[in-house]
Amino acid sequence: MSGIFSKIPNEIVVKIFCFLPAKDLCSVSLVNKNLWSVTQDDYVWQSACDNQFPADYVSQELKKMINEEPISEGCNSDEQQVVNKTNGKKLFKRLHRHISFIAKERGVVWLDCQERGGNYHHWKTLEDSQSEFGKVVFLEHVWWFDVFSTLKAVAPGTYYVVWRLKVKLRQISLHDLNFYTTVVEKIEDSNEETIIHEYNHIPQRIMFTNISRKNDWVEYRLPYKLVVPEREVINGKLLYHNVHIKIYNYDGFLKSGLWIDYVRLRECDGSRVYEQFES
- Its sign, for the CA torsion 180, 259, 277, 160, is positive
Share of the chain above pLDDT 70, in %: 86
User: Residue 142 carries which side chain, given as an amino acid letter?
Assistant: V
| Per-residue pLDDT, 31 | 80
Instruction: Identify the domain boundary among 28, 62, 96.
Output: 96
Q: Is residue 250 part of a domain?
A: yes
User: Residue 102 carries which side chain, given as an amino acid letter?
Assistant: I
- What's the rounded mean pLDDT across residues 66-78? 61
239 in helix, strand or coil? Answer: strand
Report DSSP letters for 134-197, one per residue: SEEEEE--BSSEEEEEEE-SPPSEEEEEEEEEEE---SS-----EEEEEEEEEETT---EEEEE
Q: Is residue 155 part of a domain?
A: yes
Range of the domain at 27: 3-96
Q: Is residue 145 part of a domain?
A: yes
* pTM to 2 decimal places: 0.80
Instruction: Identify the domain boundary among 96, 112, 136.
Output: 96
How many residues can be counted in the chain? 279
Work out the mean pLDDT of the chain and round it to a whole number. Answer: 83
| Per-residue pLDDT, 119 | 55
**Same-domain status, 90 and 104:** no
- What's the rounded mean pLDDT across residues 246-267? 92
Of 65-69, 99-103, 226-230, where does the model show the most confidence? 226-230
**Alpha-carbon span 136 to 165, nearest angstrom:** 10
| Per-residue pLDDT, 78 | 53
| Per-residue pLDDT, 113 | 55
**Same-domain status, 142 and 253:** yes
- What's the rounded mean pLDDT across residues 234-238? 87
Write the pLDDT tens digit of every residue in 13-33: 778 887 777 778 778 888 877
When comparing pLDDT for 162 and 94, which is higher?
162
Of 42-46, 81-85, 265-269, which range is least confident?
Answer: 81-85
- 3-state DSSP of 248-264: EECCCCCECCEEEEEEE
Question: How many Å is the Cα radius of gyration of the chain?
Answer: 22
| Per-residue pLDDT, 83 | 43
- CATH number, residue 71: 1.20.1280
- What's the rounded mean pLDDT across residues 270-277? 90
**Same-domain status, 244 and 106:** yes
Write the pLDDT tens digit of every residue in 126-158: 999 999 889 999 998 888 899 999 999 998 999
